[in-house]
């Protein structure tokens, strides 16, 4: 048996059916404004990746990512060193 809970409306199900199936049924039926929010118990803490990012001085470059149908070029601002998108446009 597994427990499935919705944080948005307080719905709780204890079932032996496939969780994704039961949850999908609730998502369709959830009365909460903004939709169902699945409560996931004992979520492991997010890995701390920030120190690695902070060490990068970020050398920003503009990369062309697309050209629209109208011929307007679109750019993304990314860091040359670590490749992260730094959108400041």
**Which residues form the interface with Zn ion (CB under 5 A)?**
6, 8-9, 11, 30, 32, 36, 56, 58, 79, 81-82
| Rounded CA Rg of the chain | 22
Residue with the two structure tokens 């992260």: 84
Residue nearer to Zn ion on the CB measure, 67 or 81? 81
Q: How far apart are CA 17 and CA 87, in angstroms?
A: 44
Closer residue to Zn ion in complex, CB, 4/36: 36
Output the smallest distance, CB 78 to Zn ion, in A: 8
Q: Which is nearer to Zn ion, 65 or 67 (CB)?
A: 65
- Minimal distance in Å, beta carbon 33 to Zn ion? 10
Q: In what order do the strands lie in the sheet with 38-39?
A: 12-15, 2-6, 38-39
């Amino acid at each position: 048996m597994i427990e499935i809970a919705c944080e948005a409306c307080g719905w709780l199900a204890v079932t032996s059916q496939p969780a994704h199936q039961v949850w999908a049924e609730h998502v369709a039926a959830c009365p909460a404004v903004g939709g169902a929010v699945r409560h996931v118990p004992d979520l492991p803490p997010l890995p701390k990746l920030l120190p690695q990012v902070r060490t990068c001085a970020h050398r920003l470059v503009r990369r062309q990512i697309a050209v629209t149908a109208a011929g307007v070029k679109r750019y993304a601002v990314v860091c040359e060193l670590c490749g992260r998108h730094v959108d400041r446009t």
